[in-house]
Structure 1
Amino acid sequence: MDDRLHTQSHTFRTSVLSGISLFLTILALFLAIFHFVYQNEYWLALGECILSIYSGFIYTKIKQGRYSRTSVLYYAYYLIFIFGIGNYLEPISQGLFVWSCFAPITLYLLLGIRHGMYATGVFLIAQFILVAIKFSHNQTYDILSLMFNLTLCYCGIWVISHLYESNRYHTENSLLYLASRDSLTGTHNRLSLATFFSHFTQKKNDKEQLCLLILDIDFFKQINDQFGHDVGDKVLIEISLLISRIVGDNNLFRIGGEEFCVTLCDKDINEARHIGEKLCNSVGDHIFNVGNNNLHLTLSIGICQYRDGDNLSDILKLADIELYKAKQNGRNQVKICQMPYEIHQEKQSDSV
């Protein structure tokens, strides 16, 4: 599935993390110096110094675009740990525990809905235990009333944070679906194909293979002209379902009116030809019910295999050439690109 909008979410979280890490780099360093020099709290100062260094490290990785989700998870739990240490060492009268109410918002922003929920729960339990221990040694306060109000406030902010993140997550997924799917057939669209290809070329290893199949419904224009576009739309939907049953939903893209693209990872050209022939047979054997008429339709398919250095337009053009050959040769058949590597590369340089 196209993760274009997930990238938008990633950008948002990166921005939040960048601001928090920079702020904590400076703040933790200041607090470490303060606790070391003025209050002689060496262990707390050491923890804050480590936090400052780690925050600076995270901030540097963000600017380089090289940080991982795991490092953010570790960072969030280290924040929980250092805040707990501070709460344990600092006098209760300083009210450091009040800042715990910001934890749900921060953790949900950093980690998302699932990890944010777990981390917020862990933080609540840890803080409840630490604050209860601190108050148990202090008779000045009504511990039950104070703990009740603190927990209620924390849980209220937790619920609001969870509802906000949940609604944002579902809205984002809805927009993702609309952006990456064809509105008629529900298959992936050309934008989704471009994103898939970009991810494949960025993350592939030397052994991974990719074949692209361009499929076109033979004489589809006649169906629209004879029976109307409503019937043509039903045919497109039905054919997309037939194709997806064979190749899977994630590998099917509608890239034109009656033109589809199928991506086959870890399949060589001969395996792709076999699948193409299976698609032709499946559509050719299927009976399309159009009112009182039964239609038999066929597919023409062109196939091209990815080679290092190809861009998407190169492969689509070469596969489209084979599709044209299949139509010229009588339709209802599969043609594969068997262009030698040197010619293939020369064609790439001509298209640049």
Structure 2
Amino acid sequence: MHPNKHHNQHVPNLPLAVHKGLSLIICAITFFYSLWNLVYLKLYLLASVELIIVSFSLFFFIQALKNQDKEWQHYTLVGMITVLVLLTPLQGDIRAGSLYWSILLPFVYFMMFGSRGGLILSLLLVFPVLYIIYTKTTHEGFLPYRAMVNYTLAHFCVWCLCYVYESQHQKDNLRLRNMALEDSLTGLKNRYALDAAFEHIDQHNIKAFMLLIDIDHFKAINDKFGHDIGNQILIEMADNLQMYANEEDVYRLGGEEFIIILSEKCEQEIYSTAESLRCFIENTLFHQHDLRLQLTISVGISRFLPGQSLSDFLRSADHNLYLAKQQGRNKVNHTLF
């Protein structure tokens, strides 16, 4: 077995992408309105608030470009946008239509904070907007109650669309993530999942052991009975391995090789678990169609050492697996303990 090099899988971050684009757009639009309110309309308080938002937005955009943005920046940016949308009609004339921008806020909330955060923030937004409509539309010929009803219904429709879309988006992301980290044949975790697990072990300096398991003479089984039987044996083997470890700790490395990661146990417990697993497989008949096959496994054990790379961790287990094979197979080897 030759370990592949570790690859970091970068998954697109939607909140970061939205934060990056939104901060730049808000910076540009708000700067334009701040000059307009300062020079033409003489709304100094509103213009001052807008210039503050311009500065923060530009700072957030630069941080996002460096991938150094923080969660508090997301909330601050969205909060500033909300304050600006609500403050503008309060400071100016509602007939200018600045309140129309509020209809875009639920989209921002859902994209930045998901279905739950979007739901809460969108619900809270309704009340100040209705207050503004009611208190600022006193001129003759305007029907504030109808306007409030129409806004509420429109806001509710937008909220429903956002909620349905974001909920489905989150489900699709979860499904794709599971597919990316799952072995398609056995349902076990795959090499990419192992990379993530090792990163957690390394960062937290967890006392961990690796059991590298290989089905003995598996190629001969494939050659004699065909790949369909071989695949079914791999599936049944995966089920058996999960009886000896939490399913979250069992991985298929590829071919007939499996890995079990065990932590917070002493060396003797690890060896006993591996030996018990080896005996169980040896005494288990694999039922495939009308065949009754008796299989054995060889196991190499390695212990994680602080500062060790995943390749070294695997290489140590692979070395012990090789020794187990040399000793006649159907063995557990932990020479490097």
Q: Counterpart of 1:342?
A: none
Question: What SS does structure 2 have at the residue aligned with 1:215?
Answer: strand
> Distance in 1 between the 2:333 and 2:18 partners?
51
> Distance in 1 between the 2:65 and 2:249 partners?
34
Cα deviation digits, residues 214-253 of structure 1 (max 9, x gap): 1112233343344433332222112212222432222222
Q: Counterpart of 2:77?
A: 75
The Cα shift of 1:189 comes to: 1.7
Matched, 1:179 2:177: no
The alpha-carbon distance between structure 1 residues 287 and 161, as it changes in their structure 2 partners (threshold 3 A), is same
The alpha-carbon distance between structure 1 residues 31 and 279, as it changes in their structure 2 partners (threshold 3 A), is farther
> Distance in 2 between the 1:134 and 1:281 partners?
80
TM-score (structure 2 length as normaliser) = 0.84
The alpha-carbon distance between structure 1 residues 226 and 165, as it changes in their structure 2 partners (threshold 3 A), is same
The code of the aligned residue for 2:305 comes to R
The alpha-carbon distance between structure 1 residues 31 and 270, as it changes in their structure 2 partners (threshold 3 A), is farther
Cα deviation digits, residues 172-214 of structure 1 (max 9, x gap): 333323322211101122233234435654xx14x43333221
The Cα shift of 1:320 comes to: 0.9
Q: Is the 8 A contact 2:134 2:145 kept in 1?
A: no
Structure 2 unaligned residues grouped into runs of 5+: 1-7
Q: Counterpart of 2:300?
A: 302
Cα deviation digits, residues 238-286 of structure 1 (max 9, x gap): 2212222432222222112111122334556555434433432443454
Question: What SS does structure 1 have at the residue aligned with 2:156?
Answer: helix
Superposition pairs for residues 55-70 of structure 1, below 5 Å? 55-70=57-72
> Distance in 1 between the 2:268 and 2:83 partners?
56
Q: Counterpart of 1:160?
A: 161
> Distance in 1 between the 2:279 and 2:117 partners?
47
Matched, 1:288 2:292: no
The alpha-carbon distance between structure 1 residues 80 and 277, as it changes in their structure 2 partners (threshold 3 A), is farther
> Distance in 2 between the 1:321 and 1:315 partners?
10
Greater helix share, structure number? 1
Q: Counterpart of 2:5?
A: none
Matched, 1:258 2:259: no
The alpha-carbon distance between structure 1 residues 278 and 32, as it changes in their structure 2 partners (threshold 3 A), is farther
Cα deviation digits, residues 60-114 of structure 1 (max 9, x gap): 2212212233431343234223322233332211111111111122222222333
Superposition pairs for residues 109-120 of structure 1, below 5 Å? 109-120=111-122
The Cα shift of 1:42 comes to: 4.6
Q: Counterpart of 2:132?
A: 130
Aligned residues: 330
Q: Counterpart of 2:17?
A: 15
> Distance in 2 between the 1:23 and 1:198 partners?
36
Question: What SS does structure 2 have at the residue aligned with 1:300?
Answer: strand
The alpha-carbon distance between structure 1 residues 66 and 244, as it changes in their structure 2 partners (threshold 3 A), is farther
The code of the aligned residue for 2:251 comes to F
The alpha-carbon distance between structure 1 residues 309 and 126, as it changes in their structure 2 partners (threshold 3 A), is same
The alpha-carbon distance between structure 1 residues 124 and 211, as it changes in their structure 2 partners (threshold 3 A), is farther
Q: Is the 8 A contact 1:100 1:154 kept in 2?
A: no
Structure 1 unaligned residues grouped into runs of 5+: 340-352
> Distance in 2 between the 1:122 and 1:281 partners?
61
The alpha-carbon distance between structure 1 residues 142 and 59, as it changes in their structure 2 partners (threshold 3 A), is same
> Distance in 2 between the 1:41 and 1:229 partners?
77
> Distance in 1 between the 2:68 and 2:277 partners?
42
Q: Is the 8 A contact 2:133 2:147 kept in 1?
A: no
Superposition pairs for residues 1-352 of structure 1, below 5 Å? 7-10=10-13, 12-36=14-38, 38-135=40-137, 137-198=138-199, 200-201=201-202, 204-205=203-204, 207-267=205-265, 269-336=267-334, 338=336
Percent identity over the alignment is 28
Cα deviation digits, residues 102-150 of structure 1 (max 9, x gap): 1122222222333223322222333233323323x34431223322332
TM-score (structure 1 length as normaliser) = 0.81
Q: Is the 8 A contact 1:216 1:260 kept in 2?
A: yes
Question: What SS does structure 2 have at the residue aligned with 1:140?
Answer: coil
The code of the aligned residue for 1:178 comes to M
> Distance in 2 between the 1:32 and 1:147 partners?
28
Q: Counterpart of 1:347?
A: none
> Distance in 1 between the 2:279 and 2:140 partners?
83
Question: What SS does structure 2 have at the residue aligned with 1:8?
Answer: coil
The alpha-carbon distance between structure 1 residues 47 and 230, as it changes in their structure 2 partners (threshold 3 A), is same
Question: What SS does structure 1 have at the residue aligned with 2:254?
Answer: coil
Q: Is the 8 A contact 1:212 1:319 kept in 2?
A: yes
Q: Is the 8 A contact 1:326 1:333 kept in 2?
A: yes
